[in-house]
Structure 1
Amino acid sequence: MPGVVSTRVGYTGGTKKNPTYTNLGDHSEALQIDYDPEKISYKDLMDMFWSGHEPAVKSWSRQYRAAIFYHNDHQERLALEARAHLQATITGEIKTDIAPFTEFYLAEDYHQKHALQHSYEYMQELKALYPLFRDIISSTAAARVNGYLGGYGTLKMLQPELDSYGLSAKAREHLFNFVKGASRYQCRRTGAC
């Protein structure tokens, strides 16, 4: 997504210090996003969030709840406004939580960049660029490749930035062809061409 600089998964929203996947306490799994407000707004991120889940469906556990953790009054206001606007258009009460951000605990490495870690070719390329896994986690290139491998993004989004990822010509060609195929599938499936 243009404007998203990096992403990481972890745990937040609870009181337990240093949670882990197997000892989560009262935290929830969360995606933390670094973004460039010159390229994408918080409102745009909110729109993506609200369209990406079923807000009137109650989460089956606190661990997997749908939630927005706001960092300031402005973000809280935008989240509440978006929820109110959406509530007026759907039946059923919105169950998505809106809560203040407290602290974010990075999830274990095996949870990070899930789609990317299941692609040996791209992982080897990125390990050559970023020998430390924490640097892969925070890299824009890894966030982008992971997103495309997860089925998010279009050729129109990929083409202007593909060369900036630092991938070999072969890996760039493979990623281009993967996104091209995924875009065709998405077009046939949804009509969003």
Structure 2
Amino acid sequence: MIRTRAGYTGGKKENPTYRALGDHAESIEIDYDPAVISYGELLEIFWKSHDPGSRPWSRQYMPAIFYHNEEQKKLAVESMKREEARTLRKIYTEISPASKFYRAEDYHQKYYLRQRPELMIELKEIYPSNEDFLNSTAAARLNGYLAVKGPYAALQAEIADLLPPGESRKLLDIIRGPDR
């Protein structure tokens, strides 16, 4: 993935916010390189990352796939049918055309990184502007790693390619901790 942004989509309200969401759903926008990861692979990750057989509490938290073209729609529907067959459960995921995406407030962006002040201090030196931080592939990868506690070796390789050696070493040392 190149970058991710938290936000709201799927509704009609103009300029929604967390406190005034209207009929939008909380969502993430993902920029990715199809030469590296396919849309189908992203769908596999989506199905593994939540329980699609649980009824959502509200539209705000509903599981949804917002497609951008007919091919994505076809792949999403096929993947949902496979998931239904695999789990033998009703799937509550909505598959809808993508509409305007509204970026969420800054405090929702890179949430797991923001919970680690020692990392944020280092990242602010690398990305002085908030916009650069939000659009950073390295920040997206670090946040994802912290969210799912991915394999450290994979993170090492990715971050080494995205940041200068001294910067990547500092961040990796903070993540790994002093006792490892």
Answering whether residue 91 of structure 2 is matched by residue 106 of structure 1, we say: no
The equivalences for 1:78-89 within 5 A come to 78-89=75-86
Distance in structure 2 (CA, Å) of the matches to 1:46 and 1:160 = 24
How far does residue 66 in structure 1 lie from its aligned partner after superposition?
Answer: 0.4
Q: Which residue of 2 aligns with 1:173?
A: 173
Mapped to 2, the partners of 1:7 and 1:100 lie a distance apart of 19
2:37 counterpart of 1:40: yes
Match of 2:53, SS state, is: coil
- Shift of the alpha carbon at 1:121? 1.6
Structure-1 residue corresponding to 2:19: 22
1:53 maps to 2:57? no
The structure-2 alpha-carbon separation of the partners of 1:89 and 1:150, relative to structure 1 and needing over 3 Å to count, comes to closer
- For the pair 1:5 / 2:2, whether they are aligned, the reply is yes
- Measure, in 1, the Cα distance between the counterparts of 2:4 and 2:81: 27
- Deviation per residue, 1:134-179 (Å, 9 max, x gap): 211110011011112223421231122232334253332222x25x
Alpha-carbon contact 2:10-2:23 (below 8 Å) kept: yes
Moved over 6 A (4+): none
Q: Which consecutive unaligned segments of at least 5 residues does structure 1 have?
A: 182-193
Instruction: Between 88-97 and 41-50, report the one with greater CA deviation.
Output: 88-97
1:159 matched to 2:156? The reply is yes
- AA partner of residue 31 (structure 1): I
Report if aligned partners of 1:125, 1:168 keep a CA contact under 8 Å in 2: no
- Counterpart amino acid of residue 163 in structure 2: Y
Which residues of 2 match residues 141-160 of structure 1 at below 5 A?
141-160=138-157
Q: Which amino acid aligns with 1:171?
A: L
Q: Matches of residues 89-128 of structure 1 in structure 2 within 5 Å?
A: 89-128=86-125
1:92 positional shift = 2.4
Q: Name the CA distance, whole Å, in 1 between partners of 2:93 and 2:8.
A: 17
Looking at structure 2, the residues matched to 34 and 168 of structure 1 have their Cα atoms a distance apart, in angstroms, of 22
TM-score of the two chains, using structure 1 as the length reference: 0.85
| Residue 67 (structure 1) aligned with residue 95 (structure 2) | no
Structure-2 change in CA distance of 1:38 and 1:152 (3 Å)? farther
User: How many residue pairs were aligned?
Assistant: 176
Shift of residue 6, structure 1, vs aligned partner: 0.5
Offset, 1:127? 1.1
**Equivalent position amino acid for 1:132 in 2:** S
**Structure 2 stretches lacking a partner, 5+ long:** none
Q: CA RMSD in A?
A: 1.7
When structure 1 is superposed on structure 2, of 81-90 and 102-111 the one drifting more is: 81-90
